[in-house]
């Protein structure tokens, strides 16, 4: 396996040898809070935060994370987007990328096209592999700026998109971007949309470099973050359900939203090479 010297300094690569995409089905990040979540499986399984993963082209990083979140032991509702103007895939040279439109080109179309163009090239650089993975997750790349939050997505459920169950209402609780530029684009676009739903959404960035190996590592990290967030939210639900919030004391009275900065901070300690960013925005 070729060795990428850019990974030399990254501690993430050392944690686990990078596996080629698609990721092994069994891979699941051992989160420190996983015990808590398994103990309360019966109660919290019904409660799931809804996630949205975002990268530039809705191909590599966001799709890797999309797959991870949808295949986790507690499969999360998840949708994914890209913030670029167009979907760009590497071509025969750096100046000849393969460019597709968002929302109207399926992963299958891209796969077929590139397969007929130069199978050897696109097999070797991992693009075909990636597209094959993606077409098994959902139909095609979607652009974040074109997303209308709150617009029902039942058709995605009927099409069998991975992670679509739970996202029928077209809203999410958490958006995770894979690059600061995408985070900026998402926050900016949410401001432009004018927050018509009056619904809070946590927007995170997990800085992941755009290559297959880093996407794998980043996917694990995002799953870890999602699990931590969901566990905290589920605990809140549980506390509110049985005993009632009024009866809780101290830590139990602190809400999920309030705990988010702490969750990010502790998550960051575990993933020091993936700088994180967070804000609370509106859908």
Q: List binders of another protein among 100-119 (CB under 8 A).
A: none
Which residue, 160 or 272, has its beta carbon nearer to another protein? Answer: 272
* Interaction of residue 33 with another protein, rule CB under 8 A: no
Buried b / exposed e across 89-123, counting CB within 10 Å, b at 16+?
bebeeeeeebebebeebbbeebbeebeeeeeeebe
CB nearer to another protein: give 19 or 280: 280
Q: Is 254 in the site for another protein (CB under 8 A)?
A: yes
Nearest to another protein of 28, 125 (CB atom) = 125
Kind and range of the H or E run holding 277: strand 276-282
The rounded distance, in Å, linking the Cα atoms of 23 and 173 is 26
Helix (H, G, I), strand (E, B), or coil: what is residue 282? strand
User: How many Å is the Cα radius of gyration of the chain?
Assistant: 19
Nearer to another protein, 72 or 217 (CB): 217
- Contact predicate 160/70, CB 8 Å: no
Site for another protein in 179-198 (CB under 8 A): 179, 181, 183-184, 187-188, 190-192, 194-198
Nearer to another protein, 4 or 113 (CB): 4
**Overall residue count recorded for the chain in this entry:** 283
Among 105, 113, 115, 199, contact with another protein (rule: CB under 8 A): 199
Q: How far is the CB of 224 from another protein (least distance, A)?
A: 16
168 interacts with another protein by CB under 8 A: yes
* Structure-block tokens of residue 156: 């995605």
Q: Which stretch binds another protein (CB under 8 A): 17-25, 35-43, 69-77, 263-271?
A: 263-271
């Amino acid at each position: 396996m070729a060795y990428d010297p850019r990974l030399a300094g990254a501690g993430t690569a050392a944690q686990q040898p990078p596996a080629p995409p698609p990721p092994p089905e069994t891979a699941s990040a051992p989160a420190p809070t996983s015990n808590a979540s398994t103990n309360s499986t019966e109660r919290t399984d019904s409660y799931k935060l809804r996630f949205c993963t975002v990268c530039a082209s809705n191909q590599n990083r966001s799709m890797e994370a999309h797959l991870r979140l949808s295949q986790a032991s507690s499969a999360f509702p998840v949708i994914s987007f890209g913030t670029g103007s167009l979907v760009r895939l590497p071509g025969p040279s750096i100046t000849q990328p393969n460019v597709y439109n968002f929302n109207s080109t399926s992963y299958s179309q891209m796969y077929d096209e590139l397969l007929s163009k130069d199978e050897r090239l696109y097999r070797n650089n991992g693009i075909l592999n990636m597209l094959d993975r993606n077409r098994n997750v959902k139909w095609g790349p979607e652009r974040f700026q074109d997303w209308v939050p709150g617009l029902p997505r039942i058709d995605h459920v009927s099409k069998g998109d991975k992670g679509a169950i739970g996202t029928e209402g077209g809203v999410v609780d958490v958006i995770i971007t894979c690059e600061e530029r995408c985070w900026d684009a998402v926050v900016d676009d949410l401001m432009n949309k004018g927050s018509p739903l009056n619904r809070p959404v946590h927007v995170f960035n997990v800085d992941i470099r755009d290559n297959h190996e880093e996407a794998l590592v980043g996917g694990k990290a995002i799953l870890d973050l999602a699990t931590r967030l969901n566990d905290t939210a589920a605990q809140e639900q549980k506390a509110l359900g049985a005993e009632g919030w009024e009866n809780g004391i101290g830590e139990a009275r602190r809400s999920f939203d309030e705990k988010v900065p702490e969750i990010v901070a502790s998550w960051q300690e575990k993933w020091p090479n993936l700088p994180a960013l967070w804000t609370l925005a509106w859908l």
